[in-house]
A and B are shown apart, each in its own frame.
Chain A
């Protein structure tokens, strides 16, 4: 490799832009808003994922409360039947695609590089693009509220109801294109994060020394990588049907609408697992930390996760037991579904065994983790009951199913995410969340959650169909619906305590003069706790060398002569000081956000007028070339004041 020598700064003090391909330069010294819009820092991107997800969470939550309000009493007319359809469809779609998935992505982005000892992800600009394109898709989807109403075909949007003949309003177009665009982000994110995990690990961080969270995220990203394209294909067919008059789901031409169901659920079942696995990863970090014990059966934890990843591909037709697929399919998928409960059960047993005999510290993060273990078990068990096809025939499309997937998704995934927030908050923001409000937050949510969704089991078994706008007094559903609605408002209010907590803890911390929370406030196990809090921009001063699972723990604790475990150092003693001298970071870029927001322009064009597609496509092309032609890295940016003769560290 050739070596050039040239001064970094011109005498005037202006820096000389390096434009290798004669094109654009990178944003530099950006501050404030521009800094956030052009950042490629995985930590900021992670935070933005989290904030965007919380924003959508509020929209989805309001929709949920509207549904419960409508169902609180029989023959209610708060929402018309049409509005009701739109509200529950948008609620489900938002919660799945714009809340649970991006919160998983938020944790993955923030934590993966820190937990494997990397400077950043493999492709920082693609990372920024993944976030912005998710946001662009999400905003496009939600713009339908103001542009003729949201989608109304249910979150799985079955054919032929999703065709122009039965759903002429544009809601489904927004559903289709918004999720199509957001899907691009999931796909590019998956490629990026898999490459990161496989290729960017610190020395000594072998696969079997990776934290369980990293493993679960790796499996999650593989599921995304292979599942999203199937949804994309289905959405392409729907797009061509709705916008260009194709006949893929046109029954009068002999089309088979079951094709949509197959494609959707081939995507859909891996999807449900990729929603829960990040939460499984989170509690697998929290529970050992607060049980003061290593995770029980680490290899089983890892391999059961991988097994779930594989088996998740062979069970999709359990969503189609009553659709008329043949008896052999029903039998095979029924058996396969029962088997998938096995690796899931292995995980639950491992968490219990980790807690067994441990010195449990029941703080909020731990409580939320235990909440996940308990409530997910209930949801998993009801899942097994609908793996039994004859029993599912009774349950499907009733509130029993609604109870099931809320127990796994809210009681499972979201409780896990709350555990993660309480656990990593000090690492991310530099202060702990208030434990007292935290306990209220947890117990309130447990109460509200079980009041809301517990009764739905009963309602479902009594025969209350899901997705019905209302019910009659004579049906006998009144009591449990009222209980459920009361529960949902308790749940809504207590969920908001998280925000209250964040705000209050921050003010108190600020009032106290921003005391340092320390690198390792929980006496935790993995290497992200070996750097300062909040995590410095450059992550690690020196790339750590790893020699154990739970490496940081092993640095802190060792056996003495009598074989007793003794603390040999505290986390703060071992922590890296957070001095970024000499570290060169990837430079920010304008193009990811420009490219991302050029796509909805094409999307709106497909809905309203193909003419719009022209500027949209042009902007897409310009930004791709802008991206390719800007310097891959701007070495002129002097992030951390390294002296001119210090060696550059590769920004990997």
Chain B
């Protein structure tokens, strides 16, 4: 983390979010949307297949994560912003929060679920 954001202010003068790098085109956004819609359809179908246990849950979780990453990466521009200088700061801040939340609350739920 540190080496990516130790630049002097002078190094990055004149950079702005808008002109330095291309955002995806309208078409790409539609493609992402279609993929998201398809995943959602599969999710719903999967939940109606009458499966149980991990066979039901694991694919659902995987699809959920994929959707999450696609929205954050494409719609929220994380994957594009992180290509600009120091742009990784955004996803480092957000990602740290996300990872922290997942870890901490998984421990809480595990403590309750298994009484360990």
Contacts and interface: CB of A to CB of B under 8 A. Distances in A.
Interface of A: 198, 201-208, 225-226, 256, 258-259, 262, 266, 313, 317, 325-329
Contact of B111 (A201, A226, A317): A317
Contacts of A326: 111, 114-116
B115 to A, nearest CB: 5
Contact of A329 (B9, B97, B103, B116): B116
Interface string B58-70: 0000000000000
Interface in B4-33: 5-10
A226 B100 contact: yes
A214 to B, nearest CB: 14
A55 to B, nearest CB: 34
A203 B6 contact: no
Given A201-B9, A226-B97, A266 B108 contact: yes
11 contacts: A198-B5, A204-B8, A206-B7, A207-B6, A208-B2, A225-B97, A226-B97, A266-B108, A313-B104, A325-B115, A327-B116
A207 B2 contact: yes
Interface of B: 2, 5-10, 89, 97, 100, 103-104, 108, 111-112, 114-116
A202 B104 contact: no
Give 4 closest A-B pairs by Cβ, nearest first. Answer: A326-B116, A328-B116, A206-B6, A326-B115
Nearest to A256: B112
A100 B21 CA distance: 45
Contacts of B9: 201-203
Contacts of A327: 116
Given A198-B5, A208-B6, 18 more contacts: A198-B89, A201-B9, A202-B9, A203-B8, A205-B8, A206-B6, A206-B8, A207-B5, A208-B2, A258-B112, A262-B111, A266-B108, A313-B104, A325-B111, A325-B116, A326-B111, A329-B111, A329-B116
B4 to A, nearest CB: 10
A225 B97 CA distance: 9
Contacts of B104: 266, 313
Given A198-B5, A313-B100, A313-B104, A203 B10 contact: yes
A108 to B, nearest CB: 19
A20 B10 CA distance: 31
A211 to B, nearest CB: 15
Contacts of A262: 108, 111
B18 to A, nearest CB: 14
A206 B108 CA distance: 38
A258 B109 CA distance: 11
Contacts of A266: 104, 108
B110 to A, nearest CB: 9
A274 to B, nearest CB: 15
Nearest to A303: B2
Contacts of B8: 203-206
A238 to B, nearest CB: 17
A548 to B, nearest CB: 13
A297 B108 CA distance: 37
A202 B2 CA distance: 17
A644 B115 CA distance: 72
A226 B101 CA distance: 9
A318 to B, nearest CB: 13
Contacts of B115: 325-326
Contacts of B2: 207-208
B82 to A, nearest CB: 15
Nearest to B10: A203
B97 to A, nearest CB: 6
Contacts of B5: 198, 207
A195 to B, nearest CB: 10
A235 to B, nearest CB: 17
A325 B112 CA distance: 8
B69 to A, nearest CB: 21
Contacts of A207: 2, 5-6
A266 B103 CA distance: 12
A262 B10 CA distance: 46
Contacts of A203: 8-10
Contacts of A329: 111, 116
Contacts of B111: 262, 317, 325-326, 329
Nearest to A209: B6
Nearest to A546: B8
B48 to A, nearest CB: 30
B47 to A, nearest CB: 26
A258 B114 CA distance: 14
Contacts of B112: 256, 258-259
Nearest to A331: B116
Contacts of A206: 6-8
